[in-house]
Amino acid sequence: TADVVISSGGVSVGDYDYVDEILAQLGAEIHVRAVAVKPGKPLTVARFPNAQRPVLYFGLPGNPVSSLVSFWRFVQPAVRKLAGLADGWEPKFVQARSHHDLRSDGKRESYLWGKMNLVNGTYEFHLAGGSHSSGNLINLAQTNGLAVLPAGQTFIASGEPVQVLPIG
């Protein structure tokens, strides 16, 4: 077993990012510094091998939506596995039919939040209204799914299938 430390904010702030330096001074082995995910690119995963018990450190982005997406996509599965789940710890995606055009710049795997419903045996995904800025926490209300546009894909038309990560 391992202890887990999760922090949010201050992970990547350019010239003023001291987290990696501090982790190194504390004896951490940094395994991940960023992921190709939007929102949520800055993500630090480190291990403190010389602690009394192994300690894992997850440094999440400072923007609230980025932090939540990183937690749901990466940290929650890791914590479940560390808790001893042999199966069922990995993220599970379901196929849904999008009720909206979904867009991304295609540079990174992109997550768009909204409401997923089961209708006549088929999942449907409705994109949340308002801004999809990583600092806009208010439109996450009622969200129960994250639609995924893989890196390299910039568009999914309304009515087309989309992979959705159920949350909550």
Tens digit of pLDDT for each residue in 107-163?
999 999 999 999 999 999 999 987 777 766 677 778 999 999 999 999 999 999 999
- Residue 12 confidence class, pLDDT cut points 50, 70, 90: very low
CA proximity to 140, closest of 110, 111, 99: 111
Report DSSP letters for 84-98, one per residue.
Answer: T-SSS-S---EEEEE
| Range in 2-11, 33-42, 81-90, 99-108 with the lowest mean pLDDT | 2-11
What is the pLDDT, as a whole number, of residue 4? 81
70 in Cβ contact with 6 (< 8 Å): no
% of the chain with per-residue pLDDT over 90:
64
Query: Over 80: is that where the pLDDT of 56 sits?
Result: yes
**Whole-number Å distance between alpha carbons of 31 and 2:** 16
**Whole-number Å distance between alpha carbons of 74 and 153:** 21
Q: Where do the CATH 3.40.980.10 domains begin and end in the chain? A: 3-82
- Give the CATH superfamily of 3-82: MoaB/Mog-like domain (3.40.980.10)
Pick the CATH number of 94-166 from 3.40.50.300, 2.40.340.10, 1.10.760.10, 3.40.50.261: 2.40.340.10
Report DSSP letters for the chain, one per residue.
Answer: --EEEEEES-S--GGG--HHHHHHHTT-EEEEEE-SEES--EEEEEEETTSSS-EEEEEE-SSHHHHHHHIIIIIHHHHHHHTT-SSS-S---EEEEESS-EE--SSSEEEEEEEEEEETTEEEEEEPSS---TT--GGGTT--EEEEE-TT--EE-TTSEEEEEE--
For the purposes of burial, counting CB atoms within 10 Å of the CB of 14, is it exposed (0-12), middle (13-18) or buried (19 or more)? Answer: exposed
What is the pLDDT, as a whole number, of residue 139? 72
Q: Where do the CATH 2.40.340.10 domains begin and end in the chain? A: 94-166
Tokens of 4: 């887990």
What is the pLDDT, as a whole number, of residue 16? 58
Whole-prediction pTM value? 0.86
